[in-house]
Amino acid sequence: MAINIDDPAPDVSFQKQSGETVSLKSLLGQKTVVLYFYPKDDTPGCTKEACGFRDSYTVFQEAGAEVIGVSSDTPTSHQQFSSKYQLPFSLLSDSRNQARKAFGVPPTLGILPGRVTYVIDTSGIVRHIFNSQMNFQGHIDESLKIVKAISKET
């Protein structure tokens, strides 16, 4: 079952780049969370998307948001990808695709892991969903627009 706007985000757990386990619930409360699911580390589209979030990271931070990337890649793969492109945000491992299933991230063409971004407010409510396998910049632009709107509410 897919998560929709105004639904509470499911409390799922991930493995951080360091190998430790972290829950989504523990990341909420202080900042809006921009949680983006992507197919695979170090592929052309995923690199473009990650670097787009990297290049706008300061703006997200200033608007009170934290960016977090999620794929099924290993923590080691995430460390290498993050280091190679100097990503200032966490990449979390969903190796068994439990978070992807809990959010209802649909596959593309039935085989590729989907590319979906969720903006989750400090109360844990999903405020925006952007789903596009090919519009990499749209994930950044749409998320930033919503994050800025949320920051004006407080």
**The Cα angle at residue 121 between residues 124 and 56, in degrees rounded to 5:** 135
Please give the C-alpha separations between residue 72 and each of 17, 56, 95, in angstroms, as whole numbers.
12, 24, 4
Residues 83, 68: Cα–Cα separation, whole Å? 15
Has 46 been annotated as catalytic? yes
Query: Which is catalytic among the residues 35, 46, 65, 68?
Result: 46
Whose CA is closest to 18, among 86, 82, 105, 100? 82
Beta-strand pair 21-23/65-71: unpaired
| Amino acid making up residue 22 | V
Active site (catalytic) residues: 46
